[in-house]
């Protein structure tokens, strides 16, 4: 039984993703610390934070909104990862691994989103 957002597998995976991103951004050039690094960290932090906030809300409609925000942050993060690979801030392998985990979290979020939409109808 899920009694807390911390029990949600998607939140746990999203935390793994955020941890991975914080580690990877330490490899981005120092002059990008307030640019690309900070933006990636904010997007990665946003995913589990919005899952948690949505789960704590009173209504399905509100939860659905926060899942949608998390999906937006996943898309933003994926874009930043691809760009980091293209400009060689991160290796192809690092980008591929992070994108794989982001994709997994995204699929979990879309599954929750579908279930919540069905519940509203």
pLDDT of residue 54: 96
pLDDT tens-digit profile of 93-117?
999 999 999 999 999 999 999 999 9
| CATH number, residue 13 | 1.20.1440.60
User: Do residues 2 and 12 lie in contact, with contact meaning Cβ atoms separated by under 8 Å?
Assistant: no
pLDDT of residue 13: 98
- DSSP-derived secondary structure letter, 7: G
Domain that holds residue 69: 5-120
Burial of residue 5 (number of CB atoms within 10 Å: 0-12, 13-18, 19+):
middle
Domain count, the chain: 1
pLDDT of residue 34: 83
Report the pLDDT averaged over residues 54-63: 94
pLDDT tens-digit profile of 33-49?
889 999 999 999 999 99
pLDDT tens-digit profile of 59-100?
999 999 999 999 999 999 999 999 999 999 999 999 999 999
Residue appearing with tokens 């904010």: 42
Q: Which candidate, 106, 25, 45, 44, places its Cα nearest to that of 71?
A: 106
Task: Compute the distance between CA of residue 115 and CA of residue 17 in angstroms, rounded to an integer.
Answer: 23
Task: Compute the distance between CA of residue 116 and CA of residue 121 in angstroms, rounded to an integer.
Answer: 9
User: Do residues 84 and 95 lie in contact, with contact meaning Cβ atoms separated by under 8 Å?
Assistant: yes
């Amino acid at each position: 039984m899920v009694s807390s957002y911390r029990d949600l597998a998607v939140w746990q995976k999203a935390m793994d993703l955020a941890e991975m991103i914080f580690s990877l951004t330490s490899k981005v050039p120092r002059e990008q610390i307030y640019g690309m690094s900070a933006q990636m960290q904010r997007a990665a932090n946003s995913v589990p934070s919005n899952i948690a906030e949505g789960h704590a809300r009173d209504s399905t409609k509100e939860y659905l909104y926060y899942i949608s925000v998390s999906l937006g942050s996943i898309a933003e993060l994926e874009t930043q990862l691809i760009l980091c690979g293209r400009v060689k801030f991160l290796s192809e392998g690092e980008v591929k691994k992070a994108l794989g985990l982001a994709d997994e979290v995204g699929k979990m979020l879309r599954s929750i989103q579908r279930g919540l939409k069905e519940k509203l109808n």
